[in-house]
Amino acid sequence: MRSFHKYCALLLCLLATSCLGELDVKPTENVDQSVVFQTADDLEAGVLGVYAGLGTASITISSLMADENMLPVENNTNKGVQVFSWKQEPVIADIGQAWQNFYMVLDRANRILGKIDNVAVALQDEERRDRLKGELLAIRAYCHFELLRHYAVDYDPASPGIPVMTSSVNGKPARVPVSKVFEQIDADLVAARGLIPGTFTTNTHATALAVVAMQARSALWQERWEQAITHASTVINAMPLSTPAQFADIWLDKSSAEVIWKLKREAQDAKLGDFYREGTRIMYAPAFKLMNAMNASTDVRFSAWFKDLGAGRWAVNKYVGGQPALVNLADVKLLRVAEMYLIRAEAHAATGIVGLVPGTADLNALRAQRISGYTAATFASPQALAAAVMEERYKELAFEGHRYFDLRRKKAAISRIPEDVVQAPSALTSTPADRGYYMPIPLRELQANENMKQHPKYE
């Protein structure tokens, strides 16, 4: 406990900044980094501090930007309304949340990575030190990936991506191409996979299986279909989907079925459920478009995702949690096996006619565990299968931080139905030609870093 407090003191003096361009500010208190980490316990406490910094900006931004949620009349607080209406500006706090959070976590991880190899741990702790290093590399890859999804101009390999941060003293870096960001992500994941033993299975940490799942996700985004199939298959072969009986308990934190990696949330932590519901007031309700896409009586996801409050009022039920005294407190699931089935199905579909049968089998396998009395589907073409996979991602991964980014990587329009935009009637459709389709770089970063270039739509 003493080493954890010592590490927190270091964080307070070194990590007070919020912009990448300011992260090279020198500490103002008398804490010597070279002596903070002396034992494996010190390193463990430090790594826990890195995990503690991870937030949920990807989930909230996707909920605001995409077609997963509707803006009810009772949300009269203006909370998130500009982003929901695609009228976001670089000064809005919602826009800067992901930038601030993920670069802060990167800085924390890099400060430990810069010292970890020089910590002379006991012989019996050398494997533990290596595993902790692997976890940090995995977290670094995860943060770079999330930042890229938010702030890249677009996802074409040569397009401007984000600054890559592999040191705690980065100066004022510029964007690098999307392909270069993925090179760093993939390199960190390969290194992490070689350091984290397969016997380490604590799903509140980045395990070896979580690293492989991230490799599958990265390969999908780069359209490296065979790699996506290989990595997703490794995860699928190692962990089964949840059964229908287990499914509801996942979201009540009573079951870890099919959960590869999650952020553990305790009583003192921020409650993700508060984003959707504050007390009795619904801030963002599930979109009628999303609910209409699912069968309430046969799809086990319907009651897990949505709650009927009566009088036409619906609530997002996914993050209410299983503790009545701590409503809206729930662990945040970052990686699930279900996503791997969808990644593999999409990758198979992209390979053409040869992938139609195995891709269809993956989609049917997932649906069979979610829909009672399900009859296996067939598809006339790989294109039809690909469209069905995208629709299934919409339903299966709802409110998990994917939908907005999925639409962006497909360069597809964001389309809502009138019932979901009663308070923002002009926010029906946004296309890649529109300014509001994209996320701008936060103004604070532009002010602090003259090398940073704004998204062209916001210049």
Do 192 and 284 lie in a common domain?
no
Residue with tokens 């067939």: 378
The domain total for the chain is 2
Position 343 in a domain = no
Q: For residue 139, give the amino acid letter.
A: I
Percent of the chain with pLDDT over 70: 92
Do 183 and 294 lie in a common domain?
no
Q: Would you place residue 247 in the very low, low, confident or very high pLDDT band (cuts 50, 70, 90)? A: very high
Do 296 and 161 lie in a common domain?
no
Q: For residue 300, give the amino acid letter.
A: V
Average pLDDT over residues 272-285: 96
Percent of the chain with pLDDT over 90: 90
Position 434 in a domain = no
Eight-class DSSP state of 264: -
Alpha carbons 235 and 214: distance in angstroms, whole number: 10
Predicted confidence (pLDDT) at residue 6 exceeds the cutoff of 50: no
Do 29 and 144 lie in a common domain?
yes
233 HSE (CA, 13 A, CB side):
10
Q: Would you place residue 19 in the very low, low, confident or very high pLDDT band (cuts 50, 70, 90)? A: low
Do 30 and 155 lie in a common domain?
yes
Position 151 in a domain = yes
Position 459 in a domain = yes
Predicted confidence (pLDDT) at residue 104 exceeds the cutoff of 90: yes
In what helix (H) or strand (E) does residue 244 lie, and over which residues does it extend? helix 244-251
Position 293 in a domain = yes
Return the structure tokens found at 351. 């390979």
Do 177 and 298 lie in a common domain?
no
Do 317 and 184 lie in a common domain?
no
Supply the range of the domain harboring residue 50: 1-72+86-197+439-459
Average pLDDT over residues 403-407: 98
pLDDT number for residue 15: 42
Do 16 and 159 lie in a common domain?
yes
CB atoms within 10 A of CB 279: 9
Position 263 in a domain = no
Position 77 in a domain = no
Average pLDDT over residues 68-95: 95
Taking the mean position of all CA atoms in its chain, how far away is CA 355?
28
Query: In the listed set 262, 292, 326, which residue is the last one of a domain according to the structure?
Result: 326
Query: In the listed set 302, 326, 350, which residue is the last one of a domain according to the structure?
Result: 326
CATH number (domain holding residue 137): 1.25.40.890
Alpha carbons 426 and 299: distance in angstroms, whole number: 32
Average pLDDT over residues 418-437: 96
Alpha carbons 153 and 141: distance in angstroms, whole number: 19
pLDDT number for residue 171: 84
Q: For residue 37, give the amino acid letter.
A: F
Do 41 and 185 lie in a common domain?
yes
Do 26 and 135 lie in a common domain?
yes
**φ and ψ at residue 350, rounded to 5 degrees:** -70, -20
Contact between residue 65 and residue 404 where contact means Cβ atoms under 8 Å apart = yes
Predicted confidence (pLDDT) at residue 7 exceeds the cutoff of 60: no
| Per-residue pLDDT tens digits for 164-214 | 999 987 789 999 999 999 999 999 999 999 999 999 999 999 999 999 999
Eight-class DSSP state of 446: H
Position 216 in a domain = no
Q: State pTM to two decimals.
A: 0.94
Do 1 and 126 lie in a common domain?
yes
